[in-house]
């Protein structure tokens, strides 16, 4: 995770030497998720009880999109490969370590991936992080395309969504009909139809229950939501009560310190900010050796 103050110089935010140093207040997080009652996935260990068997059967019954999560971005051609041996894959594995540590320490399961504006690479981060976690044999991940106005995960995966996810959120179709599987530990809830009034769907009881139903059906260790931008779409605000934490993605070439600060202000007091991930950085390491030495 990256503290935003580390990125002040990169984002053009410089404090004058004469200005007093601003120390942010430690405000308590008045955050109560609306999706109460997490599934105890610890039941996956030990004796195979009825709940554990039902979850295993639900995963086995999902239509298989790919045999392994590593194939998703490598063959799409839209973004860099994210398999275990790639540069991006190694970066996501490092991010995975920090993320899973924070989730375990705080007993968090539902994570939103958002940004200040569009074009920062939210979907790429959501897909790469989900695939990295799914490479761990002991963990399962559910990745949901929650950017209803401009869904992008289906195109990223070169996959056809089972239908509009709005039909699941409004109760027209069962949640399991929207789910597919990559490998044994990555489930996808894709979308193929933009929804103009997505915020209204997520503020309705049916939408909340649909998200809860997908989570309960698969009991994932981590549920990742590819969210809309915080500053561009009211749907992002509607999603915040459904989350335990948010990871913010910043475009290193376009986003400003003011935009990042505004996102922090919007999250303050609502949902914890896991950190800020810098994407599209112009930095290049001049060392070309496969293994770098200190």
Q: Can you give the pLDDT at residue 84?
A: 67
Greatest pairwise CA separation for the chain in angstroms: 65
Q: Give phi and psi for 251, each to the nearest 5.
A: -80, 110
Domain that holds residue 182: 64-279
Residue 19 lies inside a defined structural domain of this protein: no
Q: Can you give the pLDDT at residue 95?
A: 84
Residue 197 lies inside a defined structural domain of this protein: yes
Interatomic CA distance for residues 111 and 273, integer angstroms: 10
pLDDT along the chain (294 residues), means of 10: 47 51 52 46 56 92 83 56 69 85 92 91 88 88 94 86 93 94 92 88 89 94 94 87 92 86 91 86 45 36
When divided into structural domains, the chain yields a total of 1
For residues 62 and 187, the answer to whether their CB atoms sit within 8 Å is yes
Q: Can you give the pLDDT at residue 23?
A: 52
Q: Can you give the pLDDT at residue 36?
A: 40
Instruction: Concatenate the DSSP letters of all residues of 141-180 into one string.
Output: EEEEE---SS--HHHHTT---SS-THHHHTTSS-GGGGEE
Q: Can you give the pLDDT at residue 246?
A: 95
Residue 53 lies inside a defined structural domain of this protein: no
Q: Can you give the pLDDT at residue 39?
A: 43
Model pTM score = 0.77
Residue 120 lies inside a defined structural domain of this protein: yes
**Which CATH number belongs to the domain containing residue 204 in this structure?**
3.40.50.300
Residues in the chain: 294
Residue 153 lies inside a defined structural domain of this protein: yes
* Residue 194 DSSP SS3: coil
Beta bridge partners of 188: 143, 180
């Amino acid at each position: 995770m990256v503290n935003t103050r580390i990125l002040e110089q990169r984002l053009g935010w410089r404090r004058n030497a004469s200005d007093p140093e601003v120390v942010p207040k430690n405000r308590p997080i008045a955050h109560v998720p609306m999706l109460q009652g997490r599934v105890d996935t610890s039941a996956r260990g030990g004796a195979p009880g009825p709940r554990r068997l039902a979850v295993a059967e639900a995963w086995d019954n999902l239509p298989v999109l790919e045999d392994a999560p590593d194939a998703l971005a490598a063959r799409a051609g839209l973004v860099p490969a994210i398999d275990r041996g790639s540069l991006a894959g190694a970066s996501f594995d490092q991010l995975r370590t920090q993320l899973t540590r924070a989730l375990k320490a705080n007993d968090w399961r539902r994570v939103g991936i958002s940004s200040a504006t569009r074009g920062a690479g939210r979907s790429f981060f959501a897909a790469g992080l989900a695939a990295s976690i799914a490479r761990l044999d002991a963990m399962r991940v559910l990745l949901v395309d929650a950017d209803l106005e401009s869904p992008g995960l289906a195109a990223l995966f070169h996959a056809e969504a089972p239908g509009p996810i709005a039909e699941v959120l409004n109760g027209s179709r069962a949640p399991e009909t929207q789910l597919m599987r990559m490998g044994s530990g990555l489930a996808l809830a894709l979308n193929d139809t933009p929804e103009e009034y997505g915020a209204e769907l997520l503020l309705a009881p049916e939408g909340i229950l649909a998200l809860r139903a997908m989570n309960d059906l698969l009991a994932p260790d981590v549920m990742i939501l590819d969210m809309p931008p915080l500053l561009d779409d009211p749907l992002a605000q509607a999603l915040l009560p459904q989350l335990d934490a948010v990871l913010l993605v910043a475009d290193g070439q376009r986003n400003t310190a003011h935009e990042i600060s505004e996102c922090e202000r919007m999250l303050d007091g609502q949902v914890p900010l896991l950190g800020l991930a810098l994407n599209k950085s112009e930095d290049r390491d001049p060392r070309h050796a496969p293994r770098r030495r200190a």
